[in-house]
Structure 1
Amino acid sequence: MFPGEARVQTEAQAGPLYRVLGAPLAISCNVSGFRDEASVKHFSFYINKPANPGLDINIISTNDRGFGFAIYQQRVRSGEIFITRVSPNSVIFEIQSLQRGDEGDYDCSVENSEYTYDGSYSVKTAVKVIDDSLSVSSPASTSLSFNEGEALTLTCQASSNTIQHTHLSFAWYLQRDGEDDARPIISLDRDFTLRPGRGFEARYQAGLVRLDKLGEATYRLKVSQLELSDQGKIHCQAQEWIQDPDRSWYPIATKDAEKITLEVKPDALSLAVRILAQHTALQEGQELLLSCSVDTSNLEGSFFSVAFLREGVELARIGPTGVLSVGPEYSGRENQGELRAARTGSRDYRLILRPVRTEDQGEYKCRVWPEERGLDGVFTQGASQDSSSQLVSISATGDRLRLACEVEGVKGRLTVAWQYKSSSTPAALFTNVIGLSQEGVIEETEEFRSRGVRATRPAANVFVFELDEVKLSDSGVYQCAVSEWNTNSKVHSQSQAAAVTVTP
């Protein structure tokens, strides 16, 4: 200890702490410097209210049950206001539900058990009680019914009109039938990072579960292929976070929209189409493999005809006895060995196109007809049922450009602008290609909108730029320009450039 430095130091959370009406409040307080560190110290809490700035009102003490003034005694007795001891030298003061009159300066004082005074034995923390302005609502019906394999799309509105600088996090939850607790399907944290919930990771990676933020306050959930296990109650939840003076983030409000009862009925004829390539974005010359599986648990012993279609045009059909017929547009490619289709199991069918061409891209689906065989051996075809669509993109042979930009020392909200200038005009200014706003909304320029350009934020401090099918004219300098914002004011900007050369 330096000469003249106070020996005893009492510390509490720095204020002001903004907390919502009806929400809990917790203030930590600890003391150091007593000669006997192991002895239990006694703490008392007072409040100095704005209406009576010179009056300290007793609230609660660890050493005296009757310490509090009458206006706080009942709340202390009921357990709404209490002190939790963390260590001999540290406590946490808590109020379970803030009232309007709880706004003020809270004084944490420690009893001096020594014969002399040497230091600080009390400390104040300002608390501001603000209105709860968080609102969450979903316009969907309170009861929905789907067949297995169908797509579910829900939207939710979440916003806050507080004047404080706050962030929102958002999540969709599912409470499955037979389970006590709801589990997250997918969430967007306060730094705009997407995270699939436990049990939904594989479907998220396959693109079957999505969460999109549309504008300032709309969040859209899309589940492309519902499963029987998705049945239950589904709802959206938003949390509002504020940054305290110590730079930590604190959730000041949490609200749920009304729960929606979701029924998922087993489909007598349930189809699933999946691309068994590494990506659904292929290049010319690669192989496209489509598998169509027919779930016929309620139709054992039935026969089927299965057709593969692209953009509504039939490529090939496998009849009830396994005979293959090919549409006129693809008969030549079958003769050349480029198209093959067959039944690979009792209810599994497969189509292979190799090598693929750019004209093979589009939406693929399976179409299935139940076939009933009469006593004379003739088949009668029933009503058809389609699977969900699978979009396949096929590009001319070319590389994909991928750039990553990592940011350090983040304190406020960030925006990013990916910019470009051609290597043929080095003196030119950078032009915007694509960007992400403070709210995570994508901002595209018209020139690159049709080029397969993407801007993502896989982590809070990482931005990624991708451009499909690069051309020779894409050579140049690409720049990641990141800006940090405090509310609506830009406080800092920095950029990093990288030269890219595209060769034939």
Structure 2
Amino acid sequence: MGKTRALILLCAAVGLCHCRLVTVPTGPLLRVEGQPLSIRCDVSEYEGPREQDFEWMVTRGMETIKVISTFDEHFSERSFQDRIRSGDISVSRLKDNAVELRIQEARISDSATYQCSTPSTDSVISGNYKAAVQLKVVPNSLIVAPDAPNPVIREGGSIRLLCNVSRNFLEGIYLSLTWSVKKGSSLLEDLLTFGPDMGVMAGDNYMRRYTDGGMRLEMGNGVSHSLVLSGATPDDQGMYVCTARLWTREQGAWNRIQEKTMEMGEVTVTPTANSLSVQVQDDSTLSTGETLLLTCSVSAEASMDLEVTWLMNGTRVLAHLSRDGVLTNTSDVVDVRRLGKWDFQLKVHSLELSDAGLYACKVSAWVQRDGGQWYRATEKISDPAHVHVIKHSKYAA
């Protein structure tokens, strides 16, 4: 860049209208064996046709070899002709005054100094007509080997996504890891990315979950890295993927030079609704003045908090017991008690004829995420029990 600035200042000093400037990226450029690469070349401040021509050459030690030209099909030397014919090496025009030298599969032997030059179309020779950059191709050492997650998770459980990544550490090359999920026929969706600058970026739909602690990154020994999703819901099921990328820092921006993606495995989240059952005891017949006792029995395989509502004839709320034990919507003759973890007893004192009807128990299951956030996982209502009330007779035996 110092020579370029000096050249511009020199042109300005001598008062020239045009001062041809050929530029390539600032090197050295680091690339990975077997990966595609491109080197851009631009020319500006020139006279003549808008569309300019370009020639590429490489220098290794004292030897300079012609690679490819935009206008001379016989320019290439024999050592490159097979790769050019196969399309492995090509030159692509980006604009009238810009091209890219492209290599589809970089070789270690491609390491060299690459020179881009432009034949003059100027009335006066001024400026620079060629520019060079050093390219270094390093061995492909990136290995991505994720561990398969547990294929079946109960709702409210945790999904651990372990991604093992190894590589040769080279100065100037940085690593990033991205965990993603593909749900059904939808596109791949990023959960979280770590790196290449040691930063962490959550996906658009997972930012709050990361902030609340429901998604956390666990860095291992430099090889094994885990992303943990806690408080899993059925929406979390899908195919999980781990992607490792290698980057270099060029012209103040991150440039990706390699990417490897591996499927980790399919995860199914069993909904709480699948294991939750609610039942009220059988029909009963009582007399006026007696006490009605009904038990709502709940069974579930997952860990959850329960909220219980007793209903009469489908709509009338007799009592509501919150998941923290607060009883509301009741009267002096109605009471609800919790018997152990899974049973809830309804007691109606001094039955009247109007108390006859259908009694049902509605249960809401709540699951807590890490960070304290609760969500209603599912809700179920028992089949109703038919309660018959007959008028008490003082003459009954």
TM-score with structure 1 length normalisation?
Answer: 0.54
Give a deviation string over 1:141-177, Cα, whole Å, max 9, x none.
5x61123332212222224322323322211110112
Counterparts of 1:79-478 in structure 2, within 5 Å, are 79-114=87-122, 116-140=124-148, 144-179=151-186, 181-244=187-250, 246-268=251-273, 304=296, 340-342=326-328, 368=342, 387-388=367-368
CA distance in 2, matches of 1:255, 1:227: 29
AA of the residue aligned to 2:37: L
Higher relative contact order (CA 8 A, sep 6+): 2
CA distance in 2, matches of 1:392, 1:120: 65
3-state SS of the aligned residue for 1:199?
helix
Q: Is the 8 A contact 1:305 1:317 kept in 2?
A: no
Give a deviation string over 1:274-326, Cα, whole Å, max 9, x none.
xxxxxxxxxxxxxxxxxxxxxx6x8799985689xxxx9x9x98586766889
- Aligned residue in 2 for 1:454: none
Change (3 A) 1:306 1:32: same
- Aligned residue in 2 for 1:493: none
Give a deviation string over 1:387-433, Cα, whole Å, max 9, x none.
4576669xxxxxxxxxxxxxxxxxxxxxxxxxxxxxxxxxxxxxxxx
| Structure label with greater radius of gyration | 2
Q: Is the 8 A contact 1:367 1:386 kept in 2?
A: no
CA distance in 1, matches of 2:366, 2:35: 51
- Aligned residue in 1 for 2:387: none
Write 1 or 2 for the structure with the bigger share of helix: 2
CA distance in 1, matches of 2:343, 2:191: 34
CA distance in 1, matches of 2:329, 2:249: 60
CA distance in 2, matches of 1:115, 1:324: 93
Change (3 A) 1:317 1:90: closer
Change (3 A) 1:177 1:120: same
CA distance in 2, matches of 1:101, 1:325: 75
Whether 1:40 aligns to 2:51 is yes
- Aligned residue in 1 for 2:81: 73
Deviation of 1:178 after TM superposition, in Å, equals 1.9
- Aligned residue in 2 for 1:28: 40
- Aligned residue in 2 for 1:411: none
CA distance in 1, matches of 2:143, 2:307: 52
Q: Is the 8 A contact 1:21 1:130 kept in 2?
A: yes
CA distance in 2, matches of 1:220, 1:123: 45
Change (3 A) 1:114 1:210: same
3-state SS of the aligned residue for 1:259?
strand
Q: Is the 8 A contact 2:214 2:371 kept in 1?
A: no
Deviation of 1:114 after TM superposition, in Å, equals 3.7
Q: Is the 8 A contact 2:181 2:241 kept in 1?
A: yes
Give a deviation string over 1:121-144, Cα, whole Å, max 9, x none.
111111111112223222235x61
Whether 1:13 aligns to 2:19 is no
Counterparts of 1:472-491 in structure 2, within 5 Å, are none
Give a deviation string over 1:189-248, Cα, whole Å, max 9, x none.
32233222233234334332222323433322111122223222102112122223x343
CA distance in 2, matches of 1:324, 1:264: 30
Change (3 A) 1:115 1:35: closer
CA distance in 2, matches of 1:391, 1:249: 34
CA distance in 2, matches of 1:86, 1:301: 75
3-state SS of the aligned residue for 1:257?
strand
CA distance in 2, matches of 1:29, 1:325: 73
Change (3 A) 1:323 1:119: closer
3-state SS of the aligned residue for 2:147?
coil
Percent of aligned positions with the same letter in both sequences?
25
AA of the residue aligned to 2:326: R
CA distance in 2, matches of 1:18, 1:2: 36
